[in-house]
Amino acid sequence: MYIGHVGAALTAMRVRRSIGLLVLLLATYAPDWVDTGLCLANVYNPQGMLSHSIPAVLVFMVIGFTAYAAATRDWTGGLVIAALILSHLFLDWITGYKPTWPGGPMIGLRLYSHPIADFFVEGAVIAAGTLLYARTLPPSRRPWVDVSIMLGALLALQLTIDIAHMVMTSLPKC
């Protein structure tokens, strides 16, 4: 999943308003940031065993929970961060094709191969997250404008990615 992960972060903001959006966005994309580091170090695994497998994500969850809880003394917030990191795995199983554990099967619905379906599924996650996030905003005379700006920007990003998938035959991550 691409921008759908932002939808998960916006949902988490509704769950625990004290957590900053930057922290939530870093947590929701944690496995992809790990992929960036692996790519830079020239040890990237195309299947994502070190970044998107169940054991890898469990390690990131423990690190995320410990780091956030230790820094803020907010244990519930740490659990939200861990759950958000876990959500990356579940959302990627909808759209991608990811490893389970070393020697285990690859699983996923591979919606990336169907960009239009991917856009609607990710759009639904983005829309749900944005609507929940809207409840965290300060009172506004035109709240629907705020929701529309956030929703429109995120859907535009998602559309750009899906069009790129339709136009390009191959879009390697690393």
Q: How far apart, in whole angstroms, are the C-alpha atoms of residue 95 and residue 46?
A: 16
Among 14, 15, 26, 79, binds another protein (CB under 8 A): 26
19: which DSSP letter? Answer: S
Q: Please, what is the minimum distance in Å from the beta carbon of residue 63 to another protein?
A: 18
Looking at 12, 19, 29, 56, which residue binds another protein (CB under 8 A)?
A: 29
Coil, helix or strand for 98? strand
Closer by beta carbon to another protein, 101 or else 135:
135
Query: Which is closer to another protein, CB of 35 or CB of 118?
Result: 35
| Sole window of 68-76, 104-112, 117-125, 142-150 interacting with another protein (rule: CB under 8 A) | 142-150
d(CA 151, CA 122): 12
DSSP 3-state assignment of 99? Answer: strand
Q: Which two tokens stand for residue 76?
A: 């519930």
**Residue 117 engages another protein in binding (rule: CB under 8 A):** no
101 binds another protein (CB under 8 A): no
Nearer to another protein, 104 or 137 (CB): 137
Q: Does 33 bind another protein (CB under 8 A)?
A: yes
The contacts of residue 110 (CB under 8 Å, 6+ apart) are 95, 96, 97
| b/e map 54-76, b = 16+ CB within 10 Å | eebbeebbeebbeebbeeeeeee
Residue 44 engages another protein in binding (rule: CB under 8 A) = yes
Closest separation in Å from C-beta 95 to another protein: 15
The two three-digit tokens of residue 61, written as one number: 């969850």
Binding site for another protein (CB under 8 A): 2-3, 5-6, 9-10, 21-22, 25-26, 29, 32-33, 35-37, 39-40, 42, 44, 137-138, 140, 146, 149-150, 153-154, 157, 172-174
